[in-house]
A and B are shown apart, each in its own frame.
Chain A
Amino acid sequence: MENESIQNEIEKTMQSLDDMEQAQTDDFFYSRLEERLNNRNQATKYGFITELIRKPALSFATVAVFVLSLFNVFTIIEYQQQGSREVEETREAYIQVFAKEYGLQIPTIYQLNDD
């Protein structure tokens, strides 16, 4: 395309919006806006509960998080208790060994009879 022709096209394109009239909304714009505001206010009024009912995926996710949290708490408690049990058992074992080393065990009736 010749340079003059290109420049001509450019100018025409740059001016293409000049004749465009301002776009207009229709007569129901305000009605739709009002409805949107009312719906939004309703949703805010009942808050999170309404959102849970309206959005099943959100409900499922909330329940899943709750269940996983419970599971984690249960695991932590169980782990701590198991730890305590192991410590207690180890402590008991050490006491037994110590007592045996120094003859501090209380003899049973069978040991007394053996003697």
Chain B
Amino acid sequence: MENNREFIEKLKEGDAHAFKKLVETHKDRVYNTCLGFLHQCEDAEDVAQEVFIQVYDSIDTFRGESTLATWIYRIAVTKSLELIRYRKRKKRWSFFKSLMYGDDDMDELSGEKYFQLPDLALEEKERAKILFEKIDNLSENQRIAFVLHKMEELSYKEIASVMETSLSAVESLIYRAKKNLRNQLHNYYQD
């Protein structure tokens, strides 16, 4: 279905039925990907919707050089990172405001992140929470590669396609991501 030329043409023509089919096919993987970056269900759903709005708006630009799924993953990663950057800017601004005006708004941003990890036992939830915190400290590319590999179980080849980079680059990114995570966890458990 996915890369069927006819299906893509229908999408480009604005066929509502085709668009709905696309959304139903990809919504869970997009949501799961966003959750892997954002850790909050509301934000992940919001961004997932924005991903499909962008797909709706820019389907004409899809040239078929990659699969639809790859293209959608790429948008999901980009949108998730945009929100993360926005949160960081907001946090910096809130910190500045709190210095200047003694504003208490910092509380809503400096508090614990709201992790929602269904389907895990309590102990595993705690470990997953710690791991997500350490994943957030990785460089952007390492984070993308690791999240796509761990959360979406994409192959290295698929990740290379999403990130528009080489297979060897992805291998290197995941290797370094794991190494960095282990180092962070070592420091965490040693304390």
Binding site for B on A (CB under 8 A): 1, 6, 9-10, 12-14, 16-17, 19-25, 29-30, 32-33, 36-37, 40
A25 touches B31 (CB 8 A): yes
B49 touching A32, Cβ below 8 Å: yes
Across the interface, B52 reaches (CB within 8 A) one of A17, A19, A24, A33, namely A33
Are A23's CB and B32's CB within 8 A? Answer: yes
Q: Please determine whether B24 and A19 come into contact, CB atoms closer than 8 angstroms.
A: no
A13 lies within 8 A of B185 (CB): yes
A to B CB contacts below 8 Å, 5 in the list: A14-B181, A21-B118, A22-B32, A30-B20, A40-B53
Distance between Cα atoms of A88 and B15 in the complex (Å): 73
Asked if B160 is at the interface of the complex by the 8 Å CB criterion, the answer is: no
Residue pairs across A and B with CB atoms within 8 Å: the count is: 81
Per-position 1/0 for B18-46, Cβ under 8 A of A: 00100110011101100100000100110
Q: Are A30 and B23 in contact (CB under 8 A)?
A: yes
Identify whether the interface residues of B are mostly helix, strand, loop, or mixed: helix
B127 engages A30 (CB within 8 Å): no
CB–CB A20/B28 < 8 A: no
A40 to B127, CA, bound (A): 41
98-120 of chain B: CB within 8 A of chain A: 117-120
Nearest CB of chain A from residue B28's CB, rounded to whole Å? 5
Contact of B182 with A10 in the complex, beta carbons under 8 Å: yes
Q: Are B32 and A12 in contact (CB under 8 A)?
A: no
B189 touches A1 (CB 8 A): yes
Chain B nearest Cβ from A4, distance in angstroms? 12
| Cβ of B56 under 8 Å from chain A | yes
Distance between Cα atoms of A24 and B31 in the complex (Å)? 7
Contact string against A for B residues 108-140, beta-carbon threshold 8 Å, 1 for contact and 0 otherwise: 000000000111100010011011000000000
**Does the CB pair A23–B35 fall under 8 Å?**
yes
Contacts of B45 in A (CB 8 A): 25, 29
Contact of B186 among A10, A21, A22 (CB under 8 A): A10
Given contacts A24-B31, A25-B45, A32-B49, contact A17 B150 (CB under 8 A): yes
Residues of chain B within 8 A (CB-CB) of A10 are 182, 185-186, 189
A6–B190 CB distance below 8 A: yes
The 4 closest A-B pairs by CB, nearest first: A16-B127, A16-B128, A13-B127, A10-B185
Known: A25-B45, A30-B27. A20 touches B120 (CB 8 A): yes
CB distance B49 to A36 under 8 Å? Answer: yes
List, in ascending order, chain B residues with CB within 8 A of A13's CB. 127, 130-131, 185
Please tell me which one of the listed residues B27, B120, B181, B182 contacts residue A25 in the complex, with CB atoms under 8 A apart: B27
Question: In whole angstroms, what is the CA distance A12 to B28 when docked?
Answer: 27
CA distance A33 to B46 in the complex (A): 9
B169 CB contacts on chain A under 8 angstroms? none
Is B79 interfacial (CB-CB < 8 Å)?
Answer: no
Q: A20-B120, A23-B28, A37-B53 are in contact. Are A6 and B128 (CB under 8 A)?
A: no
